[in-house]
Structure 1
Amino acid sequence: MIHGHVVTELQARIDKLSADIDLQKEILKTLERSKIAIQRELNPSAIQWDGFPSRFRAKSSCYAFPHALRLEQSIFPCCFSISAICDICNTWTDIALATPELWAAIHMDKELADRASLLRTWLNRAGSRKLSISLPTDLTEDITTVIRCHGHQLQGLKIFYDRQHIDLVTAAGPFLLLEL
């Protein structure tokens, strides 16, 4: 049987080790961030994308990451898997965030159907570009509000709908660029 003072001593040692481990983790994070920053400075092949036209940046992303494209039939030429591009490194994340063409098309699955904030952020990143959107039928009012706000930019809209959801297209507008 372990005596009370021994338990207290052991718990104190465990607490000290836990604190030391946490400190080492923070030190390691700081060192990793410093290493990445220095590697960026050292990398002579890093391309400064600011001087390139945005259409070139978008096309370059297509060629660099063909596996990140999902070809849609009909009105959607391609939808990018932006997360695949952003997961590569901070430089590619910066490029993706600064290239509005990459954000001009979105396909929202049912799992994302209630994420109006995601749709709003995505479409805002597209700037004034023409938009192509593909959505499931179970849209929330927040989603339809976001679509209405960007209606003047819609070139392609695919909704998997039933009669109950058709009012989005008929009641909202104007959808001046929408190709039927």
Structure 2
Amino acid sequence: MPKSLKLDRALLVKNNAQILEFEAQISELQMQISALEAAILVLQAEKQPVQQRLDSYKYPVLTLPNEIIGEIFLHFLPPYPEPPPLFGEDSPTILTHICRQWREIALTTPALWRSIDLKDVSVEATTSLACSWLERSGCLPLSIHAADYMTLFSVFPVFIPHRARWEHLNLRIQDPEHLLILDGPSPLLQTLHVFLRDEGLSNPISLPDFPLLHTVVLDDYGTPSLILPWSQLTRLSLSCMYPADCISILRQTMTLVTCNLEIWIEPIPHNQLVDIPLLHLETLVFELSSDVCVDFMQLLVTPSLRRLELHEDYLGWDDKGSDPTAALKSFISKSGCMLDDLRVTTASITEDAYRTAFPSIQSIQLF
């Protein structure tokens, strides 16, 4: 036999042996695959009931009606009319980032977006967010807070078309001319806070078209610039006021229930030394100022007064030993009121002395 044929035959035998070896390996692998596939089938059979149980489980909050979830969302916010921030973890916008269902509920709950706090983060971002919140708030009344002068100037114009929805306004105004944004009917407005950075208008503007207005907070610059429907107010706060200006307003606020006053010292004109009857007043607070008007309180007649808070200087105390309780006794006797709560700051005598002088007052606190 030729040598070449012998070589070819040897090679063929070798290849056949390798083929048989490979086939044996493939058979072994196939057996392992079959075993694994059988194991997978067993695991899949075990998985199925577990998956069914998981699929049937829902977080309790997700089983609630959308209206209930929306109500829960409202408790995430400060009580209306206090505003949440436009940005950050305490903003209702974070509720739109949790899941699709919560986002849909938040965006369709107008009460989440009705109280808007304008922050000067950037005018563009604030304006864009304010527009979004206005749209999301639907037709609900609005509470608007602008504590930054520049933000008010730049952003507030987007609120003008919604003035029919204004319910609570808290504004810090730099240019007195910006007070003109208030000029016009606001049929739902209930509370108005205005603080002016500079002196007010030489000619005050009259704002009679606030039929529901009951609460006003003004500073010394804002007060002379506005003529408001004083007679319908039940809550009034005036800061840094001279007695004559304050007296003029109080004579028009016959329905006041709560009043906070900060009075500068200045002689009261003789023609204004006439009693001011505030027959419905229940709470009177004299805020501390750099000076005080000792005689001012004696003009007030408050038969319904239940709570009085004041700095002792308002009672005419001095370092010569005068008795501050005497002026308070005179005030109470003249008004015929029955105080339940008395709070005195910077008291010169002891709490026991006050309790001895006023045994019928249930709560007396000195600070």
Same fold (TM over 0.5): yes
Structure 2 residue 145 is matched with structure 1 residue 134: yes
Shift of 1:167: 2.3
Paired residues, what number? 127
1:167 to 2:180 alignment: yes
The verdict on how the C-alpha distance between 1:83 and 1:179 changes in structure 2, with shifts beyond 3 A counting, is same
Residues of 2 paired with 1:131 and 1:44: CA distance?
A: 36
Partner residue of 2:121 out of 106, 111, 129: 111
Q: Is the 8 A contact 2:83 2:116 kept in 1?
A: no
CA change 1:131–1:43 in 2 (3 A) is farther
Alpha-carbon shift at residue 92 of structure 1 (Å): 1.4
90, 101, 109: which one aligns with 1:99? 109
Q: CA deviation at 1:98?
A: 0.9
Which structure 1 residue ranges, 5 or more long, are not aligned?
Answer: 1-40
SS in 2 for 1:147: helix
Task: Determine the structure 1 residue equivalent to 2:155.
Answer: 143
Q: 1:166: Cα distance to partner? A: 1.9
Matches within 5 A, 1:1-180: 44-45=58-59, 46-47=62-63, 49-50=65-66, 52=67, 56-63=68-75, 65=76, 69-70=77-78, 76-79=81-84, 81-114=91-124, 115-135=126-146, 136-139=148-151, 143-162=155-174, 163-170=176-183, 173-180=184-191
Calculate the aligned-residue CA RMSD, in Å: 2.8
Q: Contact between 2:141 and 2:166, CA under 8 Å: does it hold in 1? A: yes
Is the 2:74–2:112 contact (alpha carbons within 8 Å) kept by the matching residues of 1? no
Give the aligned residue type for 1:44. K
Q: What is the identity, as a one-letter code, of the residue corresponding to 1:166? A: L
| Deviation (angstroms), 1:139 | 3.9
Q: CA deviation at 1:59?
A: 2.8
Aligned equivalents of 2:153 and 2:117: distance in 1? 18
In structure 2, distance between residues paired with 1:43 and 1:159 = 50
**Greater per-residue helix proportion:** 1
Q: In 1, are the aligned partners of 2:114 and 2:141 still within 8 Å (CA)?
A: yes
**In 1, Cα distance between equivalents of 2:182 and 2:57:** 50
State the Cα distance separating 1:169 from its structure 2 match. 1.6
TM-score by length of 2: 0.31
Larger relative strand fraction: 2
Q: 1:141, 1:111 → 2: CA distance?
A: 14
Structure 1 CA distance for aligned equivalents of residues 92 and 180 of structure 2? 31
* Structure 2, unpaired ranges of 5+: 1-54, 85-89, 192-367
Q: CA deviation at 1:160?
A: 1.6
- 1:146 shift after superposition: 1.6
Distance 1:100 1:113 in 2: 24
Bigger RCO (CA 8 Å, 6+ sep): 1
Distance 1:140 1:77 in 2: 18
SS state of the match for residue 102, structure 1? helix
Q: 1:41-64, CA deviations, whole angstroms, 9 ceiling, x for partnerless residues?
A: 7663424645x3xxx54431134x
Question: Which residue is equivalent to 2:249?
Answer: none
Q: What code does the residue aligned with 2:129 have? A: L
Q: CA deviation at 1:178?
A: 0.9
Task: Tell me the SS of whatever aligns to 1:138.
Answer: helix
Q: Distance in 1 between matches of 2:180 and 2:135?
A: 24
Larger Rg: 2
Q: Secondary structure of 2:58's partner?
A: coil
